[in-house]
Structure 1
Amino acid sequence: MKRRGRAVDGVLLLDKPYAMTSNAALQSARRLLNAQKAGHTGTLDPLASGLLALTFGEATKFSADLLHADKTYVAGIKLGQKTTTGDLEGEFIETRPVQVTRADIEKTLESFRGEIAQIPPMFSALKRDGKTLYDLAREGVSIEREARSVRIEKLDILQFADELLTVEVTCSKGTYIRVLAEDIGEALGCGAHLASLRRTKVGTLSIEDSVTLEALESMSIQERLNVLKPLDALMTTLPAVHLSENDRVRFCHGQRLALGLQSCPRVRVYGPDEQMVGTARVNERGVLEPERLIANKKDIETTND
């Protein structure tokens, strides 16, 4: 059966709106691009807005490349109020007076920078015995969770007024910003919950280069295709290897190439036309070993002739 839609290859940096699931955003973008195949590089909570990198066609082979990348957020933390979920989705369960200064907050934030331990929240997608913690929490069940080590690379105050603390956070994979907000509130002695969250960076990708669904709606199909980033947009931190045409053809057929390169866990590979043809590793003997290959339309047409 022929797939519906067109073969679209590339990466879309979407500014996901508040209160929309990542999957709903993906399907909306897929419809607007009329794309056959689509995926994402990690979800963003419905109550968060901001950068969501979507992949189409051959780019879906590299969706996992951003899963371990650091993320940057702008978070609004409401001091003095706690909720059942740690954010606005839950019910308010406690209110305390807020008697802290900006200097108090800055001193407290120092202890949250670097490697810290976090206990995952009950309201999360983590599973225990095949059931999500979120579902267990909905049933009124609370189970013990082991603390996890995460890294807070950056934690700066952007604004503090009317008991609302706005911070910029750069953190490692697996960091729960609402848990961070709650823990900061406890450290300050007044409690807190996450009032707003916006993701501004994923790895080297920035919200400044993103587009909204509303903007996509107003574009022609060609304009929508033009905003797509190339396949290698997800892998700019990997070293690049450039091949001759003869080696490109051999590489695209899955052959190893003894090129005498420096050993490297992962590289991105290009042909002489500067088009990316896949990713590979370079073993200790300097041999280029194909990892993921990009289907080259020119090679496919040549093979079919």
Structure 2
Amino acid sequence: MHEEQPAPLREGARDGARDGAVREGRPPRRGRPQGDRPKRREISGWVILDKGVGMTSTHAVAAVKRALNAKKAGHAGTLDPLASGILPIALGEATKTVPFVMDGRKAYVFTVTWGTETDTDDAEGRPVGTTDRRPTREEVEAALPRFVGAIEQVPPRYSAIKIQGERAYDLARDGEVVELAPRSVQIDHLAVLHHSDERTVIEAECGKGTYVRAIARDLGRTLGCLGHVSALRRTRVGPFVEDQSCTIGALEGAESEANAAVLRPVETALDAVPCVPVSRDMAMRLMRGQPVILRGRDAPTEGKAYATCGGILVAVGDVERGELVPHRVFHLGGTAQRQG
């Protein structure tokens, strides 16, 4: 899975007349006065969006950015238009913590429809093979362990992986034969939730870079009945789960100030990273990009850590020989504070 970069929203065309002048022979434009346009806000935190089917991840980012009137936004892991579920969207300073969420574990519920393999490995694709054979629930459950653990997986031909600078899906759409090398991925859990003659619903927990569409494709080949993903929902991304989520409709139906209540703190993305409280002087050093010596019995000696001062996130970096070396520093005015 790849991270899309959201396209900037257009702020609207500027009036052609300057300093109140009107071109001769033309009436003045009646657009909204420049001063009435809402000013983008410096706002930081995470919105845990429940994305609907049919919406691209880039569109979702733009919609959340507009609803909260935020200056800066990005998402933590693409969710295909045909998929629904959790799409964490980072606003402002939270964009600096996106890699920590991208590296987190993910959970999905997906439906495999049997009998047809498609060129995209999902319902949008063109059939490339069919069979009348259908698996039993017992056969599906017996095959799943082969796909659990550290496995080699060939990504779908229609994926965002780059081949000599070109996206695989662009090459495939142009009719080129796309050959992708297997990749090592980690799948922690697969289980059947429901089964019928034509389809099986499966839950999965997996690591970064895993393609659920490839699981369905390879499972169908293993069972000799072929298959493709016909429905997909992401239920967790890193520390973010469904009961923390909101919809685009709910955001668009409220004022931007009210929507700020849905923001989760920037440091929520760092839940798997040790927290180190620091003094004001140490915080100032970190903000200048300078390392600080960590003292105290509970201070980490190696690995990732983030520093807070007075409960406010200051920096995240690596602890090396007892020193915290900052790699990202934060300026959190107008930020969602940690909720108790």
TM-score (norm 2): 0.83
CA distance in 2, matches of 1:216, 1:143: 40
Instruction: Judge conservation of contact 2:101–2:239 (CA < 8 Å) in 1.
Output: no
| Matched residue, 2:218 | 183
**Offset at 1:297?**
4.2
Instruction: Name the SS of the counterpart of 1:111 in structure 2.
Output: helix
User: Which of residues 280, 288, 294 in structure 1 aligns to 2:324?
Assistant: 288
Match of residue 16 from structure 2: none
Aligned residues: 294
- Residues 1-305 of structure 1: matches in 2 within 5 Å? 4-260=39-295, 261-271=299-309, 273-284=310-321, 286-297=322-333
Letter in 1 for 2:304: R
Letter in 2 for 1:292: R
Q: Is the 8 A contact 1:239 1:266 kept in 2?
A: yes
Q: Please list every run of 5 or more consecutive structure 2 residues that lacks an aligned counterpart in the other structure.
A: 1-37, 335-340
Q: 1:281 to 1:15 in 2, by over 3 A?
A: same
CA distance in 2: counterparts of 1:127 and 1:246, whole angstroms: 45
RMSD: 1.7
Classify 1:119/1:279 alpha carbon distance in 2 versus 1 (closer, same or farther; 3 Å). same
Aligned mates of 1:135, 1:242 — CA distance in 2: 48
1:296 deviation in Å? 4.8
**1:117-173 Cα shifts (integer Å, max 9, x gaps):** 111222111122222221221222213321111111010111002421000011111
Report Cα offsets for 1:4-60 as digits up to 9, x if no partner: 511111110001111111010000010000001111112111111110111111111
Deviations 1:182-216 (A, max 9, x none): 11011111000110111000112102210000111
User: Could you say if the C-alpha distance between residues 79 and 99 of structure 1 is closer, same or farther in structure 2, counting changes exceeding 3 Å?
Assistant: closer
Query: 8 Å contact 1:98–1:163 — kept in the other structure?
Result: no
> Given the superposition, is the C-alpha separation of residues 292 and 77 from structure 1 closer, same or farther in structure 2, using an over 3 Å criterion?
same
Aligned-partner Cα distance in 2 for 1:99–1:53? 37
Query: More displaced, 152-161 or 275-284?
Result: 275-284
Q: Distance in 2 between matches of 1:121 and 1:242?
A: 45
Aligned partners of 2:304 and 2:319 also within 8 Å: yes
| Separation of aligned partners in 2, 1:79 and 1:107 | 16
- Runs of 4+ residues deviating >6 angstroms: none
* C-alpha distance in structure 2 between counterparts of 1:146 and 1:251, whole Å: 42
Q: Which has the larger displacement, 119-128 or 187-196?
A: 119-128
Q: Following TM superposition, by how much is the alpha carbon of 1:220 offset from its aligned partner in structure 2, in angstroms? A: 2.5
Letter in 1 for 2:329: L
Of the two, which has the highest radius of gyration?
A: 2
